[in-house]
Structure 1
Amino acid sequence: MGGSGHGNGCGVSEIMVFVLALIAGTGCSLTSKVLLDMESVGMDGEMKKFEKPLFQTLGMFVGMVSALFMHALVIMFKIPFPGYKHGKKTSNRVGYSSVGEANADDEEEEAQEPLPVWMYFLLIIPSLFDLAATALCMLGLLHVEVSIYQMLRGSAIIFVAILKHFVLKDKLRKFMWIGVGWNVVSIILVGAVAIMSADGEAGDDGKKPMLGVSLIIAGALVQSLQYAFEEKVMSMDVSAPPLLLIGMEGFWGTVVCAFVLYPLCYALPGADVGGTMENPYDTIAMMQNSKPLQNMFFLYFLSIFFYNMLAVLVTFMLNSVWHAILDNFRPITVWGTDLFIFYYITTSFGEKWTVWSWLQLAGMAVLLYGTAVYNAPNSGSIKLQGEWYNCFCTADYEGLEEGDEEQQGLVSGREEEGAAPYQSPYQSPFMTPNTLAKRRAAEKEGGFKKVSKGTRGGSFA
């Protein structure tokens, strides 16, 4: 497998953390879908499905707020963590570094100044992007299976590539575009499965697969804009450390959900109780009337909390390539677990195998192949060297070294994370050979401030 990161290689503890992160990430997607399918009695006395996407979005942000507690512990006890530099105290304060700068000698370096107050308010912007992306994906999840939802989240890589190449003017290499092209093919295949499996029509349950696919892809587009802004924030002279960035996005997302979106959705007309878009009082009633619903939401919250923490540890103990591998495994584990639930636990939840599942399986294979091509030359990737299974394509990898910690920023997986709902924003997919060269040149000149499009590693949720 990939080379080691900050640890001493791939030992038992590293494998355990990786497996636990995979379980938590899989749990994020599955519990989210199960919540939407569970039933309870509402304030109107009727039994109905718990289709409350805004409430789930709020729960996701509350789960992210817990990262502030982790951030405080890291600073207080000087815990080694990616993106933090515990140096000598300056004015009785301990600072922290930009993401990607932590190393074994950090404790002997001068500590940086704490973040200015304005930075905490600036982080409301990526939080709004995350909020919009999450809401779109949650609405889309109402209409498609969770396995399709998880694969469609991979479309973020397409928008990231377009944004980097044409907007940020940071050119991608030929092999990266080929990888992106295969991802486009996978999205078409998976989207076709969702639509054709329902004959393109809304079923008796009112689901509209085409609408669901469109909403999830729109969420991936918004998520790519979030990545761009986060990358700018994390590459500034005064940059936000990862846990603080996650926590503050969660804080602002919670504030906006609770005090802006909920009142707005309660006032606007919709299909929920009382003729509103989403009635918070009905949500509370349904939660109070169902102990299983309360337990499932608690599992949903825990999976978000642990995935945020464990994904960071995967990068720290191994490297960002392993984080990409983690995210690439999620569509497989989500679909596999969904099938297991349906056939071995209960047909009330989960997903059954259909004639269209073969096409979905092909879409998954293409998705993994395209990501492996894009990730070259890192571990677990595929180089284009003219073989038949590479469609006889060749690509130039000169100047790229496998195992290079900075080059490993080329990897992608996200959905997020996205993290969308489960992306850990301590990493971004904005790293190419061009930005790598700029970053190294800036380091030689004494800092990152001359890197107009500097980056800090890469991962998709």
Structure 2
Amino acid sequence: MGRQGEKQKKTIDEIEFEQPEPVYIPEKKEIDVELESNASDTSGSLTKYKYFGPILAISLVITGSLNTIVAKWTDTVEIEWKHFNHPFFQGAVMFVGEMVCLVVYAIVLLIQRIHWKRNRRINGPSQNHIPSFPRINPVTFAVPAICDVVNTSVQYIGLNMTSASSYQMLRGSSIIFTGILAILILKNRLQAFRWVGMVTVTIGLAVIGVCDMIWANDADHSSTDIIVAVIHYTVGDLLIVAGEVIHAFQVIVEQKLLNNEDKQKDVPALLAVGLEGFFGLIILAVAMVPLYFIHVSPLFTDNPKNRLEDAINAFWMMTQSAEVTWSLVCNIISIALFNFAGLSVTKFMSATTRMVLDSIRTIVIWAVSIPLFHETFIPLQVSCFFIAFYYIRVELNN
């Protein structure tokens, strides 16, 4: 009994003086920092993949090239000896494609919320916030949408006043404008190799356009025709350059809106594309009403009564040709993928990189147009393409 009581007393003493393990309760600031780090890991998880940048770049070039080729193919379709010449209507179709991204974003957000609620029901309360719409003003994306509408309209007018080769050549100037605006608006500092690369790509694309003008445009003109052609070419070229300035400003605004330090205001690329499509479609749908009553020279349009845009005739041509309908459907899909890839490049890389990759579409379009649209092959252009590809490699590796 004595030994048993002594043993029991010893056990009680050990329990009495046993030190409990410390319980660490994090402060509120530390919890907030942890939540922010989790949010940043989630938003930037895709960028951890090694091939994320090249995949985005290739997607941008392929989908952008497909969009242009499909649009050009649509323009060649003839219905009752009339081409499908409805650029503003095709612009509205483009914005419908962008709006598809808004629907996809809503579906993805809904699925994320369902998973979050299910995990909370199974695993209990979590520190992760419920997926929700970012705290932004959606109307801010009307600004790049307006830029897109104006750019498309101005370049269409310019394209009808100048040659396709000049149009391709002058589109390369957007790289320079984007670099300059990135310095003025975003306060970025561009490295020397980027300046050299931008100038090199622009020169390469310019040589391609000059080659087209020398070898492809060999028609004879009278003195009167030459004067009219010079005026049309000059005004058309200026309009295309003005359109590229607007396009560069649009890309810079998009980069400003997408790169927000506040994680609660971070805008996914899908949402950004969808909002631009929503506002762009509204703006262009309203604009097509007065465009229907504007009559222009046959030089600008093939529409009945020379209307600048005739959406009614466009719908009628769709009912008469399945080829037109399916090409517009392909255009919707390609433009949705193209704009998603483009804004992803802007968000995770830079606006300048996006413009460089966008200009490279000319190479793919040229290579496809030779067999598909029977365009002239000019050997000098190949050297320009190799220069452009070299700069793409340098740009993506930096």
Task: Give the TM-score category using the shorter length.
Answer: 0.5 to 0.7
- 1:262 equivalent in structure 2: 288
Structure 1 152/78 Cα, relative in aligned 2: closer, same or farther at 3 Å? farther
Deviation by residue 1:279-312 (Cα, 9 ceiling, x = unmatched):
2222222222222222222222222234345667
The alpha-carbon deviation at position 70 of structure 1 amounts to: 1.4
**For the residues of structure 2 that align with 1:311 and 1:251, how far apart are their CA atoms?**
17
Q: Which moved more, 1:217-226 or 1:55-64?
A: 217-226
1:296 aligned residue: 327
Q: Residue 65 of structure 2 aligns with which residue?
A: 26
Letter of the 1:262 partner, please give it: M
Q: What is the letter of the counterpart of residue 222 of structure 1?
A: I
Q: Indicate if the aligned counterparts of 1:153 and 1:216 stay in contact, CA closer than 8 A.
A: yes
Paired residue for 2:379, among 349, 358, 375?
Answer: 358
The alignment status of 1:130 with 2:153, answered yes or no, reads: no
Q: Give the deviation of 1:126 after TM superposition.
A: 0.8
Structure with the bigger RCO (C-alpha within 8 Å, sep 6+) is 2
Local SS of the residue matching 1:303: helix
CA RMSD, aligned part only?
Answer: 4.2
Name which of 205, 208, 225 aligns with 2:249: 225
Does residue 62 of the first structure (1) align with residue 96 of the second (2)?
A: yes
Cα 1:362–1:151, aligned 2, differ >3 Å: closer, same or farther? farther
* Paired AA for residue 52 in structure 1: H
- Please say if residues 202 and 209 of structure 1, whose CA atoms lie closer than 8 Å, have aligned partners that are also in contact: no
Q: Distance in 1 between matches of 2:386 and 2:55?
A: 26
CA apart distance, 1:214: 4.5
Q: In the alignment, which residue of structure 2 is the partner of 1:337?
A: 368
Distance 1:25 1:160, change over 3 A: closer
Q: Cα deviations across residues 151-205 of structure 1 (Å, max 9, x unaligned)?
A: 653322110112233455433222222122213322431332343332598899x
1:280 to 308, 311, 328: 311
Contact 1:58 1:258 (C-alpha < 8 Å) held by counterparts: yes
1:140–1:324 distance in 2 versus 1, CA, 3 Å? closer
Separation in structure 2 between the aligned mates of residue 368 and residue 282 of structure 1, nearest angstrom: 42
Deviations 1:382-427 (A, max 9, x none): xxxxxxxxxxxxxxxxxxxx5xxxxxxxxxxxxxxxxxxxxxxxxx
Using the TM superposition, give the Cα deviation of residue 124 of structure 1 relative to its aligned residue in structure 2, in angstroms: 0.8
Flag the structure with larger Rg: 2
Unaligned runs of 5+ in 1: 42-46, 80-85, 93-106, 342-349, 380-401, 403-461
The percentage of aligned residue pairs carrying the same residue is 25
Give the partner amino acid of 1:158: I
Distance 1:19 1:365, change over 3 A: closer
Using structure 2 for the length normalisation, give the TM-score. Answer: 0.68
Contact 2:269 2:340 in 1 (8 A): no
Residues 170, 206 of structure 2: 8 Å contact kept? no
**Is the Cα contact below 8 Å between 1:152 and 1:190 reproduced in 2?**
no
Alignment of 1:192-231 (within 5 A): 192-196=210-214, 197-198=216-217, 213-231=237-255
| Change in CA separation of 1:210 and 1:187 when aligned onto 2, cut-off 3 Å | farther
| Matched residue type, 2:112 | K
Distance 1:282 1:338, change over 3 A: same
Could you tell me how far 1:255 is from its partner in structure 2?
0.4
More helix by share: 2
Displacement of 1:231 after TM fit?
A: 2.1
How far off is 1:314 after superposition? Answer: 9.0
Distance 1:332 1:241 in 2: 30
Which whole-Å CA distance do the structure 1 matches of 2:56 and 2:343 have between them? Answer: 10
Q: Secondary structure at the match of 1:337?
A: helix
Q: Is 1:186 aligned with 2:204?
A: yes
1:252 corresponds to: 279
What is the alpha-carbon distance in structure 2 between the residues aligned to residue 258 and residue 308 of structure 1? 20
Query: What residue ranges of structure 2 are gaps of 5+ in the alignment?
Result: 1-44, 121-125, 298-302
- Shift of the alpha carbon at 1:371? 4.4
For this pair of structures, how many residues does the alignment match? 329
Within 2, Cα distance between the matches of 1:231 and 1:315?
A: 6
TM-score, normalised via structure 1 length: 0.59
Residue in 2 that maps onto 1:72: 106
Task: Report the AA paired with residue 268 of structure 1.
Answer: I
Structure-2 change in CA distance of 1:17 and 1:125 (3 Å)? closer
Task: Please state how far the C-alpha of 1:60 moved relative to its aligned partner.
Answer: 0.4
Post-superposition offset of 1:215: 4.2
Mapped to 2, the partners of 1:61 and 1:240 lie a distance apart of: 19
